[in-house]
Structure 1
Amino acid sequence: MTKFAILAGAAAIALLAGNACAQTSEEATKAALATIQQRNPVLRAVIATNPNALTAAKALDAERKAGKVRSALHGVPILLKDNIESADPLPTTAGSLALKDNITGRDAPVAKRLRDAGLVILGKANLSEWANIRSNHSISGWSAVGGTVRNPYALDRSACGSSSGSGAAVAAGLAPLAIGTETDGSITCPAAINGLVGLKPTVGLVSRTHIVPISHSQDTAGPMTLTVEDTAKVLTIIAGSDPTDPATKEADARKTDYAAGLSKTALKGVTLAVARFYTGYSPKTDAVFERALKELEAQGATLVDVKAFDEGPIGRAEGVVLYTELKADLAAYLASTDPKKVPTRTLADVIAFNKATPKEFEWFGQESFERAEKTKGLDDPEYLKALADSKRLAGPEGIDKILKDTGAVAIIAPTTGPAWTIDPLNGDNYGGSSTTLPAVAGYPHLTVPMGDVSGLPVGLSFIGPAWSEKLLLNLGYAYEQATKHRKAPTFKATIAP
């Protein structure tokens, strides 16, 4: 499969942005659809393509010809993770057969902002079913609706989750851009493992309305792209307040043009905290990280080691929060859907549906769902204490304290190790990641390619305080431009000897 040529997503964006040899949106959309048709039977990265995509592309070309350009990404195709609603005739399934008929006819605010900015909604990306919250023994990238997403760097390896399809699709040239969602690691892990730039924004910068939820305390949508500049452009479009999502009340005051002023010299003179407590995923990953530290110093950064931090209490509190909010938030989402199309109205209904649907139990169970069903609601004192503890420990006593103690502007760490082998019998062989602190705190987390381990990409994380997206994108851009570590996938069957 190495004969496949990789579509240059960033190049397509540049052409559509008005370069001399301009490619039309119709041509770009046709090319993306053809690539999906060719590669997706193996990669399983896309659940469904949008039957309205070409019509939209032609209309956007007509607008450009008439002198109307809505944004820097006018006419560019983009995939949405299939827990994000769009007004197109596509169901929003979260990968579950329980939602296979969930055609709502409404745009999530994220989708509407993209559409209003002139992007073409190309279709829906596969994902770890229910955003990987159903079972502790799940297979990242597997859903009953879409099958198992394959990593384009080695087809027997995981694409990570839960935004596995978004990551694999952009890496493999099925689309130049994608939107993922993250509760803890679901943008940054698949971005790193698929050789992409991925940004989990500050919770509240991007609307969560009409996105199948896990946790209102931690959920957010964010971009997954080939370059930092592309990520900045997408974030500029999707950021903003939403009256139906109270967490976004500060978003309009905080948002900016994230692509403006990106500087190749942004690392010069800054101090970065090196989270060595996030090393050890694998010896070869550690070696790539050590090289990255030298590269950062070569660009003028000062590095200060942070050797120890105990995440244990944060993880335990996070579990209580996620399970409690899942039960409440999913019920609220299901209540907003058409009961004729979605008969499951509560988490208990979904649990019963799964038990009655053999395909849902093909590889693993739903013990996490069952644990969540036993929770006692958002007024439960145990939940309220866990929420307060987790936010305090990850934010003021975690990221904020590390930055204050070191005098650093951001924390750096390896995002995670290289992709593991897909194992449907035993589940994920996941070695950990640097995602929990920013996820629980609700702070931004950017990952940028920092190299590879035996041909499998690994990412460098930039983690900052709340609302520091502009800073992190600048740091990541300077690192990206100085190193150019991203390599195109080769679609190997395996890297095993």
Structure 2
Amino acid sequence: MRWLLLATLALCACKPQAPSSASHNDFPYAELDIVDLQARMQRGELDSRTLTQAYLDRIAAIDRNGPKLNSVIELNPAALREAALRDAERKAGKALGPLHGIPVLLKDNIDAVPMVNSAGSLALKDFRPKEDAFLVRRLRQAGAVILGKTNLSEWANIRSSHSTSGWSARGGLTHNPYVLDHNACGSSAGSAVAVSANLAAAAIGTETDGSIICPSALNGLVGLKPTVGLVSRSGIIPISYSQDTAGPMTRSVADAAVLLGVLAGRDDNDPATSRAAWNATLDYPARLQADALKGARIGVMRSKFAVDPDAGAAMEAAIKVMRDAGATVVDAEIPTDGQWDADELVLLLYEFKSGLNRYLASHSAPVRSLEELIAFNQRNADTEMPWFGQDLFEQAQAKGELSDPEYTTARNRARRLAGPEGIDAALKAQQLDALIAPATGAAWPTDLAHGDRFPGAGYGAAAVAGYPSLTVPMGSSRNGLPLGVVFIGTAWSEPRLISLGYAYEQLTRARKPPEYRPSLDKH
């Protein structure tokens, strides 16, 4: 479903400019992963305050100026103080964890003191939650420096069926750093663009259906959408209890594994994290096995190649790499593919209304319900709805309670068709470790007047089932736009997906840093 692609900076849809001198090659920490940065700090060659200041300078140079990527919606005013504290702790021999001193960005639907949490909406432009989200507490406990918040598709792209991904009323339009007039996908557009452009070591995105995987693929990143229940949703502005999750958006599989190990954790305020199948002690970095493809059985979903001819060609090359590495790759399809679409929309509309009303009321937000939010948008239509309306909001408001048979039937059927009778059935039929497909096609030209021209996707089943998916760069289109392959597994199969994705990444090294071209016609 296209509409599900799921101090303030520039608030307009500014026309992108040519690259400034602060390009990829000018940045001393470009493309360094978390392990590299940690090693430099441990050797005393780098400290967190210096690194944090370097990222802040780069944000000023190419996010607010130069190419004007417009990916960071707000900076943490305490970032440098947090970094200095991390340095003092390290000097005292009290390193907190694997992210000690590492600057990380958060999507602007995650509570993080002292910043605004707005979901990109002007209705919440002054709303400052009083507590960190559970996952933010875990990041801080692991030593991370919270650098700021990233722009997103407003309300994670559930406001309108005619929206443009990466645009919000509060944050304006985020630009794809590879070709600036092309779309960054959504809804975690800002998180993807910022990490791809080396504005932070890593970022946290959220996904309901594609909002981590799609922007990661279109911006040359690794994106990991965990099993629902692995990462707490407490303190995140919700869409769907059944499908929402936060996850890592990084430049490497190794960084995604490190971040996932920090994010995963049981939370009494999110019962989904208490499921018995979940094991909090898993060491995800230990699954970074370069030979993991040897002996693996992988099912390729060729029907998804139609999303983009270039993506199909890149997938053929990816299949050869995997086979040459010792994997058995066979054709496979999800037998129920797409049969859940109508039910997914029903469950999301019901769950969005229920979850949002609960979040707004419990947080004493400026608007206390979806009904009040709809009225706010109507009163402020010139600034909130200059490009598209709020038809999905209105459909959600018309829904009843979660006890309604329409909801329970749709939820149960959608999850069954996508999970046990979909992904699980496909894996079991040929004893497969994972399914693969193009994550989506290449980025499309942004058109605020008409909305997205989304080409299709290979990740939808995992989103609806609540199962994990991992996208890894697999090459570029003929126009130089990034393409990603998505690995899909059954519930709680993150360790296997990480090992397969890492092995593929090490063989291909397909990520290329962005070039900040204004358009395809200008180099």
TM-score using structure 2 length: 0.92
1:187 is aligned with what amino acid?
A: I
Question: Once the 2 structures are TM-superposed, how far is the Cα of residue 254 of structure 1 from its aligned partner?
Answer: 4.5
Q: Deviations over 1:310-365 (max 9, x none)?
A: 43321111000000100000000001122xxx331111111110011121111100
**Secondary structure of the equivalent of 2:340?**
helix
Specify the alignment match of 1:456 in structure 2. 481
Q: Deviations over 1:189-246 (max 9, x none)?
A: 0000000000000000000001000000000000000000000000000101100001
1:114 is aligned with what amino acid?
A: L
Specify the alignment match of 1:100 in structure 2. 125
Unaligned runs of 5+ in 1: none
Question: Once the 2 structures are TM-superposed, how far is the Cα of residue 29 of structure 1 from its aligned partner?
Answer: 0.2
Give, in whole Å, the separation in 2 of the partners of 1:255 and 1:401. 28
Specify the alignment match of 2:305 in structure 1. 279
1:291 is aligned with what amino acid?
A: A
Give, in whole Å, the separation in 2 of the partners of 1:461 and 1:93. 30
Question: Once the 2 structures are TM-superposed, how far is the Cα of residue 15 of structure 1 from its aligned partner?
Answer: 2.9
Give, in whole Å, the separation in 1 of the partners of 2:338 and 2:102. 43
Counterpart among 370, 386, 400 of residue 376 in structure 1:
400
**Distance verdict in 2 for CA 1:109–1:307, change over 3 Å:** closer
Question: Once the 2 structures are TM-superposed, how far is the Cα of residue 257 of structure 1 from its aligned partner?
Answer: 1.3
**Distance verdict in 2 for CA 1:56–1:366, change over 3 Å:** same
Q: Does the alignment pair 1:438 with 2:479? A: no
Give, in whole Å, the separation in 1 of the partners of 2:37 and 2:250. 16
Q: Deviations over 1:28-86 (max 9, x none)?
A: 10001001111112111000000100001001011111111111221000000000001
Question: Once the 2 structures are TM-superposed, how far is the Cα of residue 436 of structure 1 from its aligned partner?
Answer: 1.2
Q: Does the alignment pair 1:184 with 2:209? A: yes
Give, in whole Å, the separation in 1 of the partners of 2:45 and 2:214. 34
2:159 is aligned with what amino acid?
A: R
1:430 is aligned with what amino acid?
A: F
Give, in whole Å, the separation in 2 of the partners of 1:72 and 1:479. 24
Specify the alignment match of 1:207 in structure 2. 232
Specify the alignment match of 1:398 in structure 2. 422
Unaligned runs of 5+ in 2: 1-18
Give, in whole Å, the separation in 1 of the partners of 2:322 and 2:407. 41
Counterpart among 50, 74, 82 of residue 56 in structure 1:
82
Question: Once the 2 structures are TM-superposed, how far is the Cα of residue 133 of structure 1 from its aligned partner?
Answer: 0.3
**Distance verdict in 2 for CA 1:256–1:308, change over 3 Å:** closer
TM-score using structure 1 length: 0.97
Q: Does the alignment pair 1:45 with 2:71? A: yes
**Distance verdict in 2 for CA 1:242–1:11, change over 3 Å:** closer
Question: Once the 2 structures are TM-superposed, how far is the Cα of residue 256 of structure 1 from its aligned partner?
Answer: 1.1
Give, in whole Å, the separation in 1 of the partners of 2:517 and 2:435. 34
Specify the alignment match of 2:366 in structure 1. 343
What is the RMSD of the two structures over their aligned residues, measured on CA atoms? 1.4
**Secondary structure of the equivalent of 2:300?**
strand
Question: Once the 2 structures are TM-superposed, how far is the Cα of residue 284 of structure 1 from its aligned partner?
Answer: 1.3
**Residues 86 and 108, structure 1, Cα contact 8 Å, conserved in 2:** yes
**Secondary structure of the equivalent of 1:244?**
coil
**Distance verdict in 2 for CA 1:256–1:156, change over 3 Å:** same
**Distance verdict in 2 for CA 1:84–1:303, change over 3 Å:** same
Give, in whole Å, the separation in 2 of the partners of 1:60 and 1:166. 23
Q: How many residues align?
A: 493
The runs of at least 4 aligned residues of structure 1 exceeding 6 Å deviation read none
Question: Once the 2 structures are TM-superposed, how far is the Cα of residue 90 of structure 1 from its aligned partner?
Answer: 1.0
Question: Once the 2 structures are TM-superposed, how far is the Cα of residue 484 of structure 1 from its aligned partner?
Answer: 0.3
Percent same amino acid at aligned positions?
Answer: 52
Specify the alignment match of 2:494 in structure 1. 469
**Distance verdict in 2 for CA 1:462–1:312, change over 3 Å:** closer
Question: Once the 2 structures are TM-superposed, how far is the Cα of residue 261 of structure 1 from its aligned partner?
Answer: 3.9
Question: Once the 2 structures are TM-superposed, how far is the Cα of residue 101 of structure 1 from its aligned partner?
Answer: 1.3
2:202 is aligned with what amino acid?
A: L
2:199 is aligned with what amino acid?
A: L
**Residues 438 and 486, structure 2, Cα contact 8 Å, conserved in 1:** yes
Question: Once the 2 structures are TM-superposed, how far is the Cα of residue 105 of structure 1 from its aligned partner?
Answer: 2.2
**Distance verdict in 2 for CA 1:74–1:9, change over 3 Å:** farther
